[in-house]
Amino acid sequence: MNHPTTASHVPDPDPEHDVVALLTAQHGEIRNLFDEVERSTGDARRDAFGRLVRMLAVHETAEEEVVHPFARKKAEGGEGVVAERLEEERQAKEALSALEKVDPEDADFLPALRDLRTAVMQHARAEERYEFAQLRRLNDPGTLATMAKSVRAAEATAPTHPHPGVESGAKNLLLGPFAAIADRMRDALHGGPGKRG
């Protein structure tokens, strides 16, 4: 009698202990925030956009400080892979910075948001394919767990608004704390990221 064989299920890595799982989950959160901004109107759109701005700013800073330097050294073709991601990040920061100056109810807002979304999602797919896949192939749970902790630490002190031109780990470490303080003061005075004023 033949019994059907079942494939053993390997649980997905825990985002708290695996940098690839953490950042991939954040890419999903970013996609959901874009959806929320597009679907909402008025103050709900402003709030969702503020959360999107903050998420993008802290996420990219952490990648620039933790993931890209590691990938530059360890990934096959790391220099070129990281250079391409940094250029994409610079362009996205410029677009996000410009979009922050547009009222979310303005007719120009949604088309610009959709263009930004396309660029950000293409960037995320490139990271997952060219950086994250190589990190996963290293098969080093200890390193991935340490990097996840480092990403969380970087996010806790990251700027909450985009700063085009500050795409390297070194620039983030040098200028990031000052930008983060200024951003957090701005958020406190104006009611959070994404608020105009």
% pLDDT > 70, the chain: 77
**Full DSSP string of 3-40:** PPP-PPPPPPPPTTS-HHHHHHHHHHHHHHHHHHHHH-
More confident residue, 123 or 187: 123
Given this model, what pLDDT does residue 178 score?
45
Q: Is the pLDDT of residue 119 over 80?
A: yes
Average pLDDT over residues 10-36: 90
Given this model, what pLDDT does residue 164 score?
66
More confident residue, 196 or 83: 83
Q: Is the pLDDT of residue 5 over 80?
A: no
pLDDT tens column, 132-182:
999 998 878 999 999 999 999 989 888 887 776 655 455 445 454 445 445
For the chain, the average pLDDT equals 83
pTM of the model: 0.80
Q: Is the distance from CB of 151 to CB of 143 less than 8 angstroms?
A: no
Give percent helix, percent strand, percent coil of the chain, each to the nearest 5.
75, 0, 25
Distance in angstroms (rounded) separating the CA atoms of residues 192 and 69:
30
E strand or H helix at 92, and its extent?
Answer: helix 78-100
Q: Is the distance from CB of 197 to CB of 190 less than 8 angstroms?
A: yes
Q: Is the pLDDT of residue 193 over 70?
A: no
Given this model, what pLDDT does residue 59 score?
94
Average pLDDT over residues 3-9: 51
Residue closest to 37 by CA, chosen among 93, 109, 95, 107 = 109
pLDDT category, 196, cuts 50, 70, 90? very low
Amino acid at 187: D
Amino acid at 70: F
Given this model, what pLDDT does residue 43 score?
95
End-to-end CA distance of the chain: 74
Residues 6 or more apart in contact with residue 50 via CB below 8 angstroms: 192, 193, 194, 195
Given this model, what pLDDT does residue 191 score?
61
Q: Is the pLDDT of residue 9 over 60?
A: no
